[in-house]
Structure 1
Amino acid sequence: MHDEGDALHARRALLKNGLLLAGAIAAPGAIAATRKGPDRITSADLRPVTPPPPPVFARPVTSPRVVRPELMRRAMAALDRHGSRVRRDRMAIVDFNAKSADQRFHFIDLANGRSTSLRVAHGSGSDPAHTGWLQRFSNQHGSNASCEGAFATADYYHGKHGRSQRLHGLDASNNNALERAIVIHGAWYANPDMIRTHGMLGRSQGCFAFAEDELEQVFARLGTGRMIYAAKV
């Protein structure tokens, strides 16, 4: 009799536990709701999470306040054409539509869009009357004129103007640049006092001539293997 009562009691306990387990399965939140301590889910845990701010990308380089949009467009197209021959982190754009007294040689950092501008002289053959304005381009030997198009900066050397830098012409309009010795150099006639006394810079023989105390800045900003794009648009 005693064994039979124990068995009956065990069956009743098993049935009760089974019903409790079934209820927990049917309503799992019931167990979670009884949990205490730091692991308990509260309404604060259900608040929407604020998404992180979107990444900030460098704005496309257009520099409308420095380089005119059409000139910038042509320079970027030239960079795309000659991208395998030059480095694409920095370049220079020469706006020969401006007079020589203006800061018309623009260094453009393509990574952050920053720019720095300097004065540069043009060739005497491009401005025969010495007006301070470039009138024409020429790629011909002996023309003493500036030429337009894309150039790649090359090696440095010491010549009659001191330290200078050779240029390779990348377009049909300037492919004689190396043979014509169209280079970057410093010159007294490109110094700022020329503006004060004459209102314009002197003229080169087609080279990109800079103020003597600015030449090292030019070399540092350009280095080798970078593009200079010169045009009048």
Structure 2
Amino acid sequence: MASAPFLGALLFLSLPAHAGDSLGEALARLAPSADPQVIGLAVKAAECAQTRSGQPADRLAVIDYSKPSSEPRLWVFDTVNRKLLFQELVAHGKNSGDANATQFSNAPNSLASSLGLFRTSDTYTGKNGYSLRMNGLEPGVNDQAMARAIVIHGAAYVNAAMAKVAGRIGRSWGCPAVRTAIARKLIDALKGGQMVFSYYPDKHWLASSHYLKCTDGQLAQAEASVAARAGS
């Protein structure tokens, strides 16, 4: 296995902007271990949702489930200031796969992760401690997330030491669980209407997701809104 991955809050890591960078390009440069195409899809989906709803968001979390759970595959960005806030390990559901997630579900009691775009809601303290509810925005794909209690929470089984020994971290019941040491800070960065994008190269979802089909004009409007918030 490769050397232990760098984890943790990156405390507003930013890079000088390149002239003409789109938001997707700028965020991909901040996270060189991420697939830039996945970052681009996440930005497109998030901007599409904000344009359609009229509800802006300043933070975007990207989960790439095509990567093994032993590698950091969760990135949290400040999209207004174009900064990387977190780069983390994240768990998938026990029925999604072993070291690699390959199966996804929207069904209650499936114990599997869901794909697609989510908008975060409120926080609460439950059996897994401080947790963040999410609304799944894609019918038939993740819209049962609230009913299934698919939330972001901390878990002791999410740790690099286990990944090094076992080749994977522990698995959840479908929740994108993170390390307990950073759970509260990460949740506080994402609570209250921010965006979460969970990716896997599922051909049916990629072809059918309404949030990946916004027009260039709609996306340009969203980029302009982000730029305006950055200048305020």
> How many residues matched?
175
Aligned to 2:122: 155
1:66-113 per-position Cα deviation (integer Å, ceiling 9, x unaligned): 432321222122112210265332211101111111110011222333
Partner of 1:221: 189
CA distance in 1, matches of 2:56, 2:122: 15
1:164/1:186 contact within 8 Å kept = yes
Distance 1:121 1:139, change over 3 A: same
Q: Equivalents in 2 of 1:118, 1:221: separation in Å?
A: 14
1:180 to 139, 148, 159: 148
2:116 maps to 1:146: no
C-alpha distance in structure 1 between counterparts of 2:54 and 2:92, whole Å: 25
> Who is 2:80 aligned against?
111
Structure 1 residue identity aligned to 2:128: H
In the other structure, the counterpart of 1:171 is: 138
85 and 174 in structure 1: CA distance in 2 versus 1, 3 angstrom threshold: farther
Cα distance, 1:218–1:77 mapped onto 2, change above 3 Å: same
Q: How does 1:123-138 map to 2 (within 5 A)?
A: 123-127=93-97, 130=98, 132-138=99-105
Q: Deviations over 1:124-154 (max 9, x none)?
A: 1101xx2x10011110111100000011111
Amino acid at match of 1:222: L
Other-structure match for 2:200:
232
What secondary structure is seen at the aligned counterpart in 1 of 2:113?
A: coil
- The residue that corresponds to 2:218 in the other structure is none
Contact 2:57 2:193 in 1 (8 A): no
Q: Contact 2:74–2:90 at 8 Å: present in 1 too?
A: yes
Deviation at 1:191, TM superposition (A): 2.5
Q: Which residue of 2 aligns with 1:122?
A: 92
Unaligned runs of 5+ in 1: 1-55
Choose between structure 1 and 2 for higher RCO, CA contacts under 8 A separated by at least 6 residues. Answer: 2
TM-score (normalizing by structure 1)? 0.70
How far the C-alpha of 1:197 sits from its partner, in A, is 2.7
Conservation of the 8 A alpha-carbon contact between 1:87 and 1:227: no
Kindly report structure 1 stretches of 4+ aligned residues shifted beyond 4 Å: none
Q: Which runs of 5+ in 2 are unaligned?
A: 1-17, 202-232
Point out the structure with max Rg over C-alpha: 1
Q: Distance in 1 between matches of 2:171 and 2:56?
A: 30
Query: How far apart in 2 are the matches of 1:195 and 1:186?
Result: 16
State TM-score, norm by structure 2: 0.70
CA distance in 2, matches of 1:143, 1:190: 21
Equivalent of 2:60, from 72, 91, 96?
91
